[in-house]
Amino acid sequence: MNKPTTHQTPDSTRLDPFEQQLARALRRVDVRADTARKFLALAAEAEQTRAAQGSGPRLVKLSNGGRVLAFPRLGPHARAWGTGALAAGLLLSATLGGVHLEHRQQQVRAEREFQAAERIENRTLQQIRQQVEQAGIPLD
Amino acid sequence: MPFAVTEFRRLIEQHQRMVFSIALRVTGEYGTAEEVAQDVFLELHRGAHKLESEDHIRFWLRRVAVHRATDALRRAARQPATDAEEWLETDFAPPGPAAPVPPAVEARLEDLLQSLPEPLRVAIVLRYQEDMLPDEIAALLNQPVATVKSHLQRGLQLLRRKAATTLKEYVRE
């Protein structure tokens, strides 16, 4: 799979001596053992990251020292379900909020009507009382 | 979904020399090349499900390695001050018949590569390190073939000129 380092490919036969020397100078370099270990550690690290991402929200340290809560990236199906659930929640909240508001408005209207009726009744009673007193009829 | 860890390990082991060598030759710095290669492999892990074959993976790795390496190079602003055009117009005499270069100069050629402007360096690395043909390089870099050929020609001219100077100094020493 890797290209051979000897550059003995058919194409290299068309290289002039300087180019051949350049090709030899630019052979792929061997990766040092510690570098290879770093690369292979990526595999384990990537797997851990994937596992952590699947387990729920986690704190991520920023370069400036701060921390933010990071939520796992959702797959397309989860995103679709999440969007639907969010929309349904908003719709339910709006509906319930509307019903509650209407009940509150009806309550206020009823209170006002009751207070108005009470005032009218008091005024009527007062007038009757005055008329009775003027007629000289004792009320007690 | 990223692929299995064992498969990822196999791809790293298989391609680490290629990715690291491209990064090293383009950036000219071991530590930066290490970081670039790690970035490339992480990106491979995230996007490997879209890659369809070994050839596709190799093509993708080369392309991403070149892009990440040139990004790192620009960030570090480590490009050589010498402009290729100035070299060619003011200081370059057309080369005569190609003369063999002593083996000791091979080691210097790698250093001389770092003095080339970035586009020429990338083309030279892909042509002589990766043994890619100009049309393959053009496809990888998404550039016209004529541009790639021009970069290769100019890069080679600069290297021949600089190698000739270096060779004289080396022989005197």
pLDDT (mean) for A74-93? 80
* Interchain CB distance below 8 Å, B131 and A11: yes
Sequence-distant (6+) residues with CB within 8 A of A106 are: none
Residues of B in contact with A31 (CB under 8 A): 16-17, 20
Report H helices in B77-144.
Answer: 84-86, 103-113, 118-124, 134-141
Q: Which pLDDT score is estimated for B109?
A: 87
The series of mean pLDDT values per 10 residues for chain B, 173 residues long, is 74 94 94 93 82 89 96 75 47 45 71 92 96 96 96 95 74 46
Q: Which of A18, A32, A48, A53 to mutate to test the interface with B (most CBs of B within 10 A)?
A: A18
In angstroms, the Cα distances linking A53 to A27, B5, B40, B45 are 40, 16, 21, 15
Report d(CA B156, CA B118) in Å as an integer: 13
Which residues are registered as beta bridge partners of A70? A58
With b for 16 or more beta-carbon neighbours within 10 A and e for fewer, the B62-72 pattern comes to bbbbbbbbbeb
Report d(CA B25, CA A23) in Å as an integer: 12
Q: Which pLDDT score is estimated for B95?
A: 44
Tell me which residue of A18, A28, A23, A15 sits closest to B163, measured CA to CA. Answer: A18
Report d(CA B117, CA A62) in Å as an integer: 35
Nearest-CA distance from B145 to chain A in Å? 17
Residue A70 has pLDDT above 80, yes or no: no
Q: Which pLDDT score is estimated for B107?
A: 76
Q: Which pLDDT score is estimated for B118?
A: 94
Report d(CA B125, CA B128) in Å as an integer: 5
Q: May I ask the CATH architecture of the domain B1-78?
A: Orthogonal Bundle (1.10)
Report d(CA B43, CA A11) in Å as an integer: 32
* Interchain CB distance below 8 Å, B18 and A2: yes
* Interchain CB distance below 8 Å, B99 and A24: no
Long-range contacts of B32-38 (CB under 8 A, 24+ apart): B32/B72, B32/B76, B33/B69, B34/A35, B34/A38, B35/B72, B36/B65, B36/B68, B36/B69, B36/B72, B37/A35, B37/A39, B37/B65, B38/A38, B38/A39, B38/A42
Domains of chain B: which residue ranges?
A: 1-78, 100-173
Q: Which pLDDT score is estimated for A71?
A: 65
Report d(CA B59, CA B99) in Å as an integer: 34
Residues of B in contact with A26 (CB under 8 A): 25, 109-110, 113, 124-125, 128-129
Q: Which pLDDT score is estimated for B65?
A: 97
pLDDT (mean) for A96-107? 89
Report d(CA A79, CA A68) in Å as an integer: 21
B35 in Cβ contact with A35 (< 8 Å): no
Q: Which pLDDT score is estimated for B50?
A: 78
Residue A66 has pLDDT above 50, yes or no: yes
Size of interface A-B (CB pairs under 8 A): 108
pLDDT (mean) for A36-40? 88
Question: Shortest CB distance from B128 goes to which of A17, A19, A43?
Answer: A19
Residue A50 has pLDDT above 90, yes or no: no
CATH of the domain spanning B100-173? 1.10.10.10
Query: CA-nearest residue of chain B to A30?
Result: B17
Query: CA-nearest residue of chain B to A50?
Result: B2
Residues of B in contact with A75 (CB under 8 A): 1
* Interchain CB distance below 8 Å, A2 and B105: no
B7 in Cβ contact with B107 (< 8 Å): no
Tell me which residue of B9, B107, B125, B48 sits closest to A3, measured CA to CA. Answer: B125
Residues of B in contact with A38 (CB under 8 A): 34, 38
In a 3-state reduction of DSSP, which class is residue B110? helix
Which residues are registered as beta bridge partners of A67? A61
Sequence-distant (6+) residues with CB within 8 A of B126 are: B22, B62, B66, B132, B136, B137, B140, B141
Confidence of residue A137 (pLDDT cuts 50, 70, 90): confident
* Interchain CB distance below 8 Å, B106 and A21: yes
Q: Which pLDDT score is estimated for B36?
A: 95
Report d(CA A3, CA A111) in Å as an integer: 89
